Structure 1
Amino acid sequence: MVGGRARSAAPRDLAEDPQTWPHADLARHPAAAVIQQIAAALADILAERRLSLRGLAAASGVNRQSIADLLAGRSWPDVATVALLETALRVRLWPEGTPASR
């Protein structure tokens, strides 16, 4: 598996208290922290725009369950998924200040 064992657990499961997702302390897990920030930003946008998972799935081409799993911290979304969501929403989901955004 690419990334070794780092992705053997879901991002939310790396938090000391997974119930606090997407606001958990993931300082010791920078990759999971990025996914958490993406999930939090996506949740905020969906709420702000009153957009359903089904609506976003139709607009982005990303499976509704994949979006739900991202929001819940149950999956490690790939770059294509994040890019499709960003394009459909016309917003940046990848957090500023992470190595990929520099």
Structure 2
Amino acid sequence: MVGGRARSAAPRELAEDPQAWPYADLTPHPAAAVVQAIAATLAGILAERRLSLRGLAAASGVNRQAIADLLAGRSWPDVATIALLETALAARLWPEGTSAPR
């Protein structure tokens, strides 16, 4: 697996309090913290625009369940998924201050 054992657990499972996702403390896990920031930003955009998962899936070409898993911290999204979502939303999901996959 790419990344070795670092991705054997879902991002939310790396938090001391997984129930606090997407606002849990993930300081010792920088990759999971990036996924959490993406999920929080995406959730905010969906709420602000009153956009459903089905609507975003149709606009982006990303599977609705993949979007739901990202939002819930159950998966490690790949670069293609983030790029498709950013393009469909015309918004940056990757957090500032981290190296973006561009």
**TM-score normalised by structure 2 residue count:** 0.97
One-letter amino acid of the counterpart of residue 49, structure 1: R
Structure 1 ranges of 4+ moved more than 4 A: none
Offset at residue 100 of structure 1 (A): 2.9
**Structure 1 residues 16-67: Cα deviation after superposition (integer angstroms, max 9, x where no partner):** 0000000000000000000000000000000000000000000000000000
What is the number of equivalent residue pairs in this alignment? Answer: 102
Report the aligned-residue RMSD. Answer: 1.2
Other-structure match for 1:85: 85
Other-structure match for 2:97: 97
One-letter amino acid of the counterpart of residue 76, structure 2: W
**TM-score normalised by structure 1 residue count:** 0.97
| Alignment partners' CA distance in 2, 1:47 and 1:23 | 16
| Alignment partners' CA distance in 1, 2:28 and 2:96 | 18
Unaligned runs of 5+ in 2: none
Other-structure match for 2:74: 74
Unaligned runs of 5+ in 1: none
Q: Sequence identity of aligned pairs in percent?
A: 85
Q: Confirm or deny that 1:60 pairs with 2:63.
A: no
